[in-house]
Structure 1
Amino acid sequence: MPEPFRSTPVFDQNTIPARLRGNHRTKVGVWGVIRVLEGSLNLTYVEPHSQILLTQEVVGVVKPDQPHFVTPLGNVRMQVDFYHEPPKL
């Protein structure tokens, strides 16, 4: 599996940036993989609308330019990895 070209710091429920909690997109040509290290959070895809519960066992994949946002559910630790091609999970 290719290595991510960039990763965010590890965020918790208090440090997840407001921009990740609001409607935003990855850049064109960039895939995002949201990994929950502890706890859980909701990943909401805006277009087309759907929602997935992310846990340590369930990762979230965001396609390039796909609008989405995350909502922590209590205590959580999470990180986002970015790829230039579809990640193989």
Structure 2
Amino acid sequence: MAGLWRLLDRIEDIRKSRLVIAVAGMEGALSSVLAGLIAAPINAVPTSVRRGVSQGGLVALHSALASCAPDLICVNVDNGFGAAQAALRMVRASR
């Protein structure tokens, strides 16, 4: 179940991160919302879900790709491994 209050309850902890991997299904709004609240880069991972009209993660993917939020990159649906690999390279490059 989504809810902005759940994110805001942890936002100070999230802001301490050098990079965030945001995993979101349904409409995939989480990554764009986070981008408005934190300064760190965000790797968006759209996920496939089995309910609603999310079309196996395509709605979340299109949402992340269409976002105009700064410092947001997107990997393919359910590609948490790819997001983690990109995050490692980004952190290593920033040293």
Q: Is the pair's TM-score, using the shorter chain for normalization, greater than 0.5?
A: no
Q: Which has the higher contact order (CA 8 A, sep 6+)?
A: 1
Q: Over alpha carbons, which structure has the higher Rg? A: 2
TM-score relative to the length of structure 1? 0.29
Bigger fraction of residues in strand: 1
TM-score by length of 2: 0.28
